[in-house]
Amino acid sequence: MNYKKKLIISSMGLSLMLGGCSDMNNAGTEKEIEKQTAAQQEKQMEDVYVSVQDYKGEGYELDNGKKTDKIAESNREEIDEAVKAFFQDTYKTEVKVHNVVGAADGATVFVESVGEPHFYTYAIVPIEGDKVLSDKVWSQEGQVEDAIKTGIFAMIFDQEFSALDQYVEDVVKENPVVGITQEALETVRAGGYSTPYYYVNTLDPAFDKLYNAYLKNPDLSKEEWKQTFTKNDYPSKGVIITLYLYMKEEGAKPDQKVFDKVVKDLEEMDGFPRGSYSVYLNDNLIDKTNGIGTKDNTLERSNPDYIVKE
């Protein structure tokens, strides 16, 4: 129990002996404290959350990144060139840099592949003291590899993804929901093959052969990829496709009817990529410090109750 609450309880006990006026005064004090607390919480919400339509990645933070953020910004050109060279040398992939964010002992660099396979991911540039170690760029184990796999997956099943894209566009057109902005997708998301409405993850070892083949020949055409891999080569539980939508109007709660309709459609409609689907419907606000919109009021259908498309 905090000091203010102890003070209120003590005062209320004393008021029973002194009469009704003191009781009314203390009730007023308690209400005033409740108002102040609510105002503080609302102020904190305003400081952290913004409308998803307004969010373009500003305010994104990583742990212990304030100092390195300034160092990275002052060495941006060097970092950009080092990361581009890293992806070319390590993953045979040309990328463009969208954002650099300071983190503990380094900077996280958000990139997008040029052309196909298309994906978003990141690399890390170490910073030691005030020095950028541009010759020691690295990536977290499996992060870029999975991003490449999802990009190839989308190339192979381009017609199925076109059907999914068209469906989501219809949902947004017909209902009061939106996705994240393209700018937010580029600057703070690193979800492999992604759009403002969904992202893809591969889980099954069957996709390893796509990555290995890519390193041997990154210039394989879409038709050549389609000849090497079909939907029968991986289990439906080996791919997770996560749809995330937001209410369009600020202050609107996630709409149960819209959520149920999307879930039912995914359960019943055909022509989408084979895989396991998650669905999230958030209110209109997104946490600008981490780019996440899920909260206690988010409507969710996900692990272990995926919508499985065969």
Judge contact between 310 and 236, C-beta under 8 A.
Answer: yes
DSSP H helices in 49-157: 66-74, 76-91, 143-156
User: What is the rounded CA–CA span in Å between residue 89 and residue 112?
Assistant: 16
- Mean of the per-residue pLDDT values for the chain? 89
What is the share, in percent, of the chain residues with pLDDT greater than 90? 83
Q: Is residue 60 within 8 Å of residue 101, measured between CB atoms?
A: yes
pTM given for the model: 0.85
Kindly report the backbone phi and psi dihedral angles of residue 292, in degrees, each rounded to the nearest multiple of 5, phi listed first. -110, 140
Both tokens assigned to 57:
């990645």
Q: How far apart are CA 18 and CA 13, in angstroms?
A: 9
Kindly state the percentage of the chain with pLDDT values over 70: 85
pLDDT number for residue 47:
82
- Integer-rounded Cα Rg, in Å, for the chain is 25
- The reported pLDDT for the residue numbered 228 is 95
Lowest mean pLDDT across 11-20, 108-117, 141-150, 240-249? 11-20
Q: Using one digit for the tens of pLDDT, what is the confidence trace for 12-57?
A: 332 333 334 334 444 555 556 555 545 444 545 668 999 999 999 9
The contacts of residue 268 (CB under 8 Å, 6+ apart) are: none
DSSP state of 182: H
Tokens of 60: 């994104």
Amino acid symbol at 96: K
Question: What backbone torsions phi and psi does residue 129 show, to the nearest 5 degrees?
Answer: 65, -120
pLDDT of residue 21: 38
Q: Torsions phi, psi of 245, nearest 5?
A: -125, 160
In total, the chain counts a number of residues equal to 310
Token reading at 290: 């981490």
Q: Which residues pair with 177 in a beta bridge?
A: 247
pLDDT at 65: 86
